[in-house]
Amino acid sequence: MTTFTAAELAKEAEREAKYRRWVYPRLVSDGRMSAAEAERRISMMETIAGKLRKEEEEKERLL
């Protein structure tokens, strides 16, 4: 199994949040997702990225 650093995971979560901000409005306008659900999922990914960034910063601070 591949191991990833918190920084790598945060970068991927940030990329995914950006992708969702680009794709989800189209899903909402097509009626395939509610605006509330789209915002919830985007917010969740941004929160994940933030927590991972914070974890990486704490690790760097302790070194």
10 CB neighbour count, 10 Å cutoff: 21
The tens digit of pLDDT for each residue in 1-55 reads 899 999 999 999 999 999 999 999 999 999 999 999 999 999 999 999 999 999 9
Domain boundaries, the chain: 6-62
Per-residue pLDDT for 63 more than 90? no
Q: How many CB atoms lie within 10 A of CB 6?
A: 17
Instruction: Give the model's pLDDT for residue 60.
Output: 87
Contact (Cβ atoms closer than 8 angstroms) between residue 53 and residue 17: no
| C-alpha closest to that of 21 among 48, 42, 49 | 42
